[in-house]
Amino acid sequence: MWYTFLTFVLFLVVTFLFKKVTQKEPNVIKYHLNFFIFYGGCSLLAAVIWPIFLLSPKNVRNSKMAAKILKHITKLYDLKWELRNGEILAVDRGAVIVSNHQLTLDILGMFNIWEVVDKISAIAKKELFYVWPFGLSAYLAGVVFIDRKDAKGAYKQLQMTSEVMMKNKTKLWLFPEGTRNKDYRSLLPFKKGAFNIAVAAQVPILPVVFSPYYFVNAEKHIFNKGHVIIQCLQPIPTKGLTSKDIPDLMAKVHERMSTVYRELSKEVINDLPADYPYTTVG
C-alpha cells in the first residue's frame, strides 16, 4: 500500500514539475532549473575529468580542454556570445584581463571564448575550492584560489602567480568589482588587486566588457534566451608605472569600461521588442 501511495505522490510531483518547466510563463522552478543544469553539468564533467588533469596538474591547458566541452551548455539556453576584437586576447603574451562581473554565467561566456585567449589562469575566491568535485578539478586546471579575508596572503599568492604568468605568457583573468554586480546600470568601483599585479609584473591590462544580462531577472524569475556581446578594449600598458600610478590607472580603466558598457547596454536593449519584460536590475 505504501509503495502505491509513494508512486502516486511521485507521479504528481513529476507531473507538476514538468508542467512548470514546459510552460511559457516565467516561474521560480523553471528559473532555478536553468542554473541547476549549468551547475550540474559543470560538476558532472569535473567528476569525470579531474583524474585526467592529474597527468599534468595545475596546467592551464587543462582549463582549455574543459572549456571546449562545457561551452556547449550554451546551446541548452539558446544564448549567443558575440566576441568583438578577439584578436587582442589572442596575442601570446602575459597580461591581466579585467572584466565586469554580473552572474555565474560570466564563466559560461569565458568558456565560449577560452579557445581564442588560449592560456588563462582565472582567479577565484577560496570558498569555491571546497565545492567538490568542481573545486578540485578547477585547482588542477590552474585556477588560483585566494582568501579575500587575508589581504596579505592573497597578494602574496597573486605575486607568485604573476611570476608564472610572465614566464609562461599566461593571462590572469580577474573581476575587479570584487563581487557580482546585479545593477545593470553601471559598474561597481574597482578594487586594487588586478592593477597591483599588472604594475608589479609590468604587463598590459586587457579590459573586457560583457553587455548586461537583460534576459535574466531573479525577482521575476526570468531566464530567457539572449545575446551577450563580449567586447575587448585596446590594451592599457603599465610599463614604467609604479604603485603611485595605480589610482589613476584604475580610474582610466574604469572610465573606459564604463563608457563601453553603456554603449553595449543601449545596443542590446534597443534591439528588444517594446514589451520585453526586462529591468536594469537582475
3-state secondary structure 182-246: CECCCCCCCCCHHHHHHHHHCCCEEEEEECCCCCEECCCCEECCEEEEEEECCCECCCCCCHHHH
Provide the residue ranges of all domains of the chain, joining segments of one domain with +.
9-270
* φ, ψ of residue 164 in degrees (nearest 5): -65, -40
The reported pLDDT for the residue numbered 217 is: 86
C-alpha cell at 117: 585567449
- pLDDT value of position 204: 95
The pLDDT tens digits for 234-243 are: 999 999 999 8
The whole-number pLDDT of residue 256 equals 97
Query: Residue 277's pLDDT is what?
Result: 74
Residues of the chain with pLDDT under 70: 1-3, 5-23, 148, 150-165, 279-282
Query: pLDDT at position 57, please?
Result: 85
Edge to edge, the sheet with strand 226-232 lists 79-84, 226-232, 205-210, 95-99, 171-174, 120-125, 144-146
pLDDT of residue 239: 94
Query: Can you give the pLDDT at residue 110?
Result: 93
Amino acid (1-letter code) at residue 209 = V
pTM for the whole structure: 0.87
Q: Note the pLDDT of residue 18.
A: 58
Buried-exposed string 64-77: b where 16+ CB fall within 10 A, e elsewhere: bebbeebbebbeeb
| Fold (CATH) for 9-270 | Glycerol-3-phosphate (1)-acyltransferase (3.40.1130)
Q: Model confidence over 148-200: pLDDT tens digits?
A: 676 666 666 666 666 666 777 889 899 999 888 877 888 999 999 889 889 98
Quick one: pLDDT at residue 153?
65
pLDDT at position 251: 97
